[in-house]
């Protein structure tokens, strides 16, 4: 029995996408122990993942913090990992590779760099959809992949029966009109107009709700929908995943909740502007579809409502 390390620091959408990769690594290492290195926001979440033996915390302090770096590297080295699957593929994890495996190759460190196709540059490879890149990485590392292209994030869900009882949630549509303050180009501005249309047609069938993050609660007051909280606080990731999983439909900006919905096989739409390609994000699934436009300000409420109406009776 050997120890295997997976590195996945974030973000939330990336965590959902990596679910199938983690399952495939587990199934290809049935006789080994699988550990995962991640950051604080996802530490408790990954503790729920049954494919992992344990989770190791990386505070991601500055690389110039030599004391922290030394202690983290010493802790990791104690596990005597025989192979690392770098799913973050960042400059930080490349730096870790130089310390942990200075003479590493594909046999002990699997990353997009060590598995790069011979006929492609890194820039060309990064133009492939993210799940295709993961699939190539694992296959080139000698693994059989069954789940990588079809992530299942349901392992993250928790019991939210008390919350659903409190808000009398049975059939509902959940909206995610939020995004990071520095990424306003991701924000579709017409959610309140959409809510009016939804209530006109579906008021007797579905509640219209929002589930804001910790920094979005104030902004949620501007949205004319029922705001779902847990004792006045934002839902944690597991609760959020469960709210999404049990919903009738999701409409979201290109944020973490959109990726959660996609990989819970929930019916829904993700609204993409010119900031990023929906194709490269591998967000389109059987029930979850993107709308890609050059300018979200020009995406009409009528078009979104029409697409939504095609999914709902």
- CB-based contact 251:258 (threshold 8 Å): no
Q: Residue 230 — pLDDT band, cuts 50, 70, 90?
A: very high
Task: Evaluate whether 3-151 and 162-309 have a shared fold.
Answer: yes
The DSSP H or E segment spanning 162 is helix 161-166
Q: How far apart are CA 225 and CA 178, in angstroms?
A: 13
* pLDDT tens-digit series, residues 75-113: 999 999 999 999 999 999 999 999 998 887 888 999 999
pLDDT score recorded for residue 201: 95
Which residues touch 6 (CB under 8 Å, ≥6 apart)? 22, 25, 34, 35, 36, 37, 52, 84, 85, 87
- Say if domain 162-309 classifies as CATH 3.40.50.2000: yes
* pLDDT tens-digit series, residues 44-54: 999 999 999 99
pLDDT score recorded for residue 313: 77
pLDDT score recorded for residue 183: 76
Tokens at residue 33, please? Answer: 């122990």
pLDDT score recorded for residue 66: 95
DSSP 228: P
Whether the bond into 248 is cis, omega within 30 of 0: no
The DSSP H or E segment spanning 132 is helix 130-140
Task: List, edge to edge, every strand of the sheet that includes 109-110.
Answer: 54-57, 33-38, 3-7, 83-86, 109-110
Q: How far apart are CA 60 and CA 42, in angstroms?
A: 13
pLDDT score recorded for residue 49: 98
Strand, coil or helix: 166: helix
Tokens at residue 189, please? Answer: 């501005």
Strand, coil or helix: 86: strand
Residue whose entry in the numeric block shows the structure tokens 């008021």: 203
* pLDDT tens-digit series, residues 154-171: 999 999 999 999 999 999
Q: What would the mean pLDDT of 242-260 be, rounded to a whole number? A: 97
* Pairing status of strand 3-7 against strand 83-86: parallel
Mean of the per-residue pLDDT values for the chain? 95
- The class level of CATH for 3-151 reads alpha beta
* pLDDT tens-digit series, residues 167-220: 999 999 999 999 877 777 899 999 999 999 999 999 889 999 999 999 999 999
- For the chain, the domains span 3-151, 162-309
The overall pTM is greater than 0.85: yes
30 pLDDT more than 90? yes
Q: How far apart are CA 118 and CA 42, in angstroms?
A: 34
- CB-based contact 35:5 (threshold 8 Å): yes
What is the maximum span of the chain, computed from C-alpha positions, in angstroms?
A: 64
């Amino acid at each position: 029995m050997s120890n295997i390390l997976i590195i996945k620091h974030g973000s939330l959408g990336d965590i959902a996408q990596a679910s199938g990769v983690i399952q495939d690594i587990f199934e290809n290492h049935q006789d080994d122990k699988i550990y995962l290195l991640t950051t604080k926001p996802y530490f408790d979440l990954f503790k729920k993942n049954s494919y992992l033996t344990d989770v190791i915390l990386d505070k991601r302090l500055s690389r110039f913090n030599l004391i922290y770096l030394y202690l983290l590297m010493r802790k990791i080295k104690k596990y005597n990992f025989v192979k690392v699957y770098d799913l973050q593929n960042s400059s930080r994890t490349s730096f870790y590779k130089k310390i942990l495996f200075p003479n590493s190759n594909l046999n002990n460190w699997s990353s997009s760099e060590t598995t790069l196709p011979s006929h492609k540059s890194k820039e060309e490879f990064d133009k492939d959809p993210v799940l295709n890149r993961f699939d190539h990485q694992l296959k080139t590392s000698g693994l059989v992949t069954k789940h990588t292209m079809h992530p299942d994030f349901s392992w993250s869900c928790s019991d939210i029966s008390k919350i659903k009882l409190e808000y009398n949630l049975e059939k509902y549509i959940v909206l995610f009109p939020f995004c990071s303050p520095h990424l306003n180009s991701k924000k579709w501005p017409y959610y309140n107009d959409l809510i009016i249309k939804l209530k006109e047609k579906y008021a007797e069938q579905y509640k219209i709700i929002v589930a804001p993050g910790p920094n979005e609660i104030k902004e949620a007051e501007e949205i004319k929908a029922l705001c779902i909280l847990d004792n006045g606080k934002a839902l944690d990731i597991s609760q959020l995943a469960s709210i999404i999983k049990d919903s009738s439909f999701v409409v979201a900006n290109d944020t973490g909740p959109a990726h959660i919905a996609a990989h819970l096989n929930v019916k829904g739409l993700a609204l993409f502007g010119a900031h990023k390609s929906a194709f490269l994000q591998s967000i389109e699934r059987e029930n979850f579809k993107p709308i890609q436009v050059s300018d979200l300000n020009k995406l009409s409420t009528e078009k979104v409502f029409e697409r939504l109406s095609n999914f709902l009776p």
